[in-house]
């Protein structure tokens, strides 16, 4: 258990003086408790955290990275560390933690509060965190991987706004530019699919929030939709998803080196429905995993040599 200290204000990750006076911390949505689990022993060696929407995809990423890092044991099952809750799934493979976050800002925000505290309680250092996801592209071939330069809100402003105690608080969505460039280089090393750096629009909804014409409600025309997407394109936006802004804002507050890597499943200027075959969509979804797997392997090999 982490002893009560007065360090949390200065420590990396958290910035909450109230944590110091808590005898134990219950990470409710992970079903983990600092009173009953030795966090430094369980998680202290974590250096890379990969997060993504779907529990199934994050299990498959854990299996993939185990193979890439030569840590795979034949027929090994990677246990879900949060198996007694169905809110999120978490897998650990050596120094890599793979965690699901569900869909949308509220879901990823709850997960990140608990994940950031987990890293703090475990006394982790030098952690890099990447969101691996899917998105709708603007003016890109489907299957292109977009490394986010900066997340923008639905009015094309690079910010995340949240109401706290009844007041609007605006936070920066700046990500680590060097990490984005390193990931772009990994895309070039692999040369398997197109990879670009661009702005990402983060919305509160998949349908009207992303200017789709195929939701249950729609009060605008195809022309209105195209004009909106053209404005996004002019603001440097090349893909649209639903978590990057709060992810960037919370990682920045935590001093975590963070990146967002999302594949585009379709070109939104050409349509709204995800009509590609299951196999095509599945192979697209593996691209962020392949790119980030390559990055992690490269970093770990470099640290072994130095």
Footprint on this chain of ligand R2B (rule: CB under 6 A): 53, 103, 133-135, 206, 241-243
Q: Which does 103 bind (CB under 5 to 8 A by kind): ligand URA, ligand R2B, none?
A: ligand R2B
Q: Between 122 and 242, whose beta carbon lies closer to ligand R2B?
A: 242
Told to check if 134 binds ligand URA by CB under 6 A, we report yes
Q: What does the alpha-carbon distance between residue 195 and residue 263 come to, in Å, rounded to a whole number?
A: 9
Q: For the purposes of burial, counting CB atoms within 10 Å of the CB of 73, is it exposed (0-12), middle (13-18) or buried (19 or more)?
A: exposed
Told to check if 150 binds ligand URA by CB under 6 A, we report no
Please work out the total of residues on this chain that contact ligand URA, with binding judged by CB under 6 A: 9
Among 52, 186, 241, 290, binds ligand URA (CB under 6 A): 241
Among 116, 127, 138, 242, binds ligand URA (CB under 6 A): 242
Among 98, 210, 285, 289, binds ligand URA (CB under 6 A): 210
Dmax (CA) of the chain:
60
Q: Which does 265 bind (CB under 5 to 8 A by kind): ligand R2B, ligand URA, none?
A: ligand URA
**How many Cα atoms sit within 13 Å of 197 on the Cβ side?**
16
Considering only residues 264 to 283 of the shown chain, the ones binding ligand URA according to CB under 6 A are: 265
Residues that bind ligand URA (CB under 6 A): 134-136, 206, 210, 240-242, 265
């Amino acid at each position: 258990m982490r002893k009560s200290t007065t360090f949390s204000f200065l420590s990396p990750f958290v910035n909450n003086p109230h944590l110091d006076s808590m005898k134990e911390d219950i990470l409710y949505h992970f079903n983990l408790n600092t009173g009953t689990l030795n966090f430094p022993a369980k998680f202290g060696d974590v250096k890379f955290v990969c997060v993504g929407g779907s529990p199934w995809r994050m299990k498959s990423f854990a299996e993939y990275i185990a193979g890439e890092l030569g840590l795979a044991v034949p027929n090994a099952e990677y246990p879900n560390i949060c198996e007694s809750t169905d809110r999120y799934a978490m897998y650990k493979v050596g120094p890599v933690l793979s965690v699901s976050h569900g869909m949308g800002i509220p879901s990823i925000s709850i997960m990140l509060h608990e994940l950031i505290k987990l890293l703090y309680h475990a006394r982790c250092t030098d952690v890099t965190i990447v969101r691996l996801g899917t998105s709708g592209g603007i003016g890109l071939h489907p299957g292109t991987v977009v490394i986010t330069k900066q997340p923008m809100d639905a009015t094309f402003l690079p910010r995340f706004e949240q109401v706290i105690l009844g007041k609007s608080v605006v936070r920066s969505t700046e990500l680590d530019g060097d990490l984005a460039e390193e990931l772009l280089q990994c895309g070039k090393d692999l040369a398997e699919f197109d990879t670009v750096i661009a702005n990402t629009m983060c919305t509160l909804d998949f349908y009207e929030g992303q200017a789709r014409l195929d939701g249950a409600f729609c009060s605008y025309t195809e022309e209105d939709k195209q004009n909106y997407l053209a404005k996004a394109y002019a603001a440097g936006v090349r893909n649209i998803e639903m978590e990057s802004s709060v992810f960037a804002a919370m990682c920045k507050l935590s001093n975590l080196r963070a990146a967002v890597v999302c594949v585009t499943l379709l070109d939104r200027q050409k349509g709204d429905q995800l009509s590609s075959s299951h196999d095509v969509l599945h192979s697209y979804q593996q691209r962020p995993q392949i790119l980030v797997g390559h990055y992690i392997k490269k970093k770990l090999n470099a640290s072994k040599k130095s």
